[in-house]
Structure 1
C-alpha cells in the first residue's frame, strides 16, 4: 500500500466558524481544539479511519493568492440538487472560476471563501 490522505489542513481566520460549517456539511465532529486556536474535525470514529480529518489552522491574515487545497464532496443521502440547496442554506455560496455551465459539478465557496466542489455522484455513506 502507498500513502493515503489522513488529514487535510486549511488555513482560516476563524476555525470555530469554519469548523461548525464543515461539521454540518460532512457530519463530522470536533476531535481536538489546539492551544493556538486551531481545530481538528473528523468522523466520529476519529483519526485513522476511512475518511481524513481536517485541521482548520488559525491564520490571522489570509494568504496571498488562491489556496492550494480544496475539498470535493459528494452527497450520500440525497441527489446533487437537494444537497446543493442544503449547502447554500448552511452558508456556502456559488463561486465562478470560469465554468461553462455544462459541468457535472457545482463550484462553491465556504463562509471564508475557500472553494470546494459538489460532485454529481451520490456515494454510499459507508
Structure 2
C-alpha cells in the first residue's frame, strides 16, 4: 500500500483572499471551512478524501513569503501559456525573480501573498 497527497496546506495571512485567488487559478470551489478560519478548496464535485488533492488555506501567525521549500507548478488546460499568464496576472499574480536566465520555458509568479509558483508551458487535459 502507498500513500497519496490528499491536501496541500498553505499558511497565509488572509485565507479568504487566497482561497478566492487559487479557486480562480485552478477552477476549484470551496469545499469547507473550519472553526480556525481554514478554507478548503478543491475540484467541483469532490470533497475531503477525494482522489484529487485539495488546497487548505490556513490562517497563520507567521506565514512565509517568497521562495518556499515546496512550491506549486500549474499548467494551462484550455489556452496557451501566454494567454494563461495574462489571465493569472489579471487575477492578482505578479512576476517573481528567483534568478531566471530568461531562457526558461516557464514563468515564475507569486500569488497575492507572495508565495511563488510556476506556470509551465505544456497544456494538459483538465481533470
- Paired position in structure 2 for 1:17: 17
8 Å contact kept, 2:10–2:56:
yes
1:59–1:46 distance in 2 versus 1, CA, 3 Å: same
8 Å contact kept, 2:67–2:116:
no
1:1-126 matches, within 5 Å, as 2-44=2-44, 45-63=46-64, 66-126=67-127
Which moves more between the two structures, 96-105 or 65-74?
65-74
How many residues align? The count is 126
1:115–1:64 distance in 2 versus 1, CA, 3 Å: closer
Q: Tell me by how many angstroms 1:100 deviates.
A: 0.5
8 Å contact kept, 2:66–2:114:
no
8 Å contact kept, 2:65–2:114:
no
Structure 2: gaps (5+ residues): none
Deviations along 1:9-36, one digit per CA (max 9) or x if unpaired, are 1110000000000000000011111101
Structure 1: gaps (5+ residues): none
